Amino acid sequence: EVQLLESGGGWEQPGGSLRLSCAASGFTFSTYGMSWVRRAPGKGLEWVSSISGSGGETHYAESVKGRFTISRDNSKNTLYLQMNSLRAEDTARYYCAKAHSSDYFPVDYWGQGTLVTVSS
């Protein structure tokens, strides 16, 4: 059974940093592209970042480019999102997402999400 378990969310002040993790199990992690998708309070889903199975390719939404870094450790079956220079508009629940097949989308499995709150 595929499982994705996010951690690392919490409260941080504007300008601060957080590192999200996503522990994956139930599939061959290194074979699949992975993504982070967020949902801000009262809003819809927003793609944040994606990384290839090998980790050699990364992609970012313009809203987080230069501030967030996606990475993965295939030996630990874990996906990461390093979030720096946090802004109030980054407040959201962040979901770890596994690609259905090749590329990054559609997503066939999602974690339950981890909540990030950026506020002074």
Partner 1 sequence: EVVMTQSPGTLSLSPGERATLSCRPSQSITSSYLAWYQQQPGQAPRLLIYAASSRATGIPDRFSGSGSGTDFTLTISRLEPEDFAVYYCQQYLTAPVTFGQGTKLEIK
43 binds partner 1 (CB under 8 A): yes
19 binds partner 1 (CB under 8 A): no
From residue 86, alpha-carbon distances to 26, 32, 82, 96, 102 in Å are 32, 28, 10, 19, 31
Among residues 111, 114, 116, 118, which is the contact residue for partner 1, using CB under 8 A? Answer: 111
Among residues 30, 46, 84, 91, which is the contact residue for partner 1, using CB under 8 A? Answer: 46
* The dihedral sign for the CA sequence 73, 108, 57, 80: negative
Nearer to partner 1, 107 or 118 (CB): 107
Residue given tokens 């595929």 in the structure block: 2
Binding site for partner 1 (CB under 8 A): 43-47, 59, 61-62, 95, 100, 103-108, 110-113
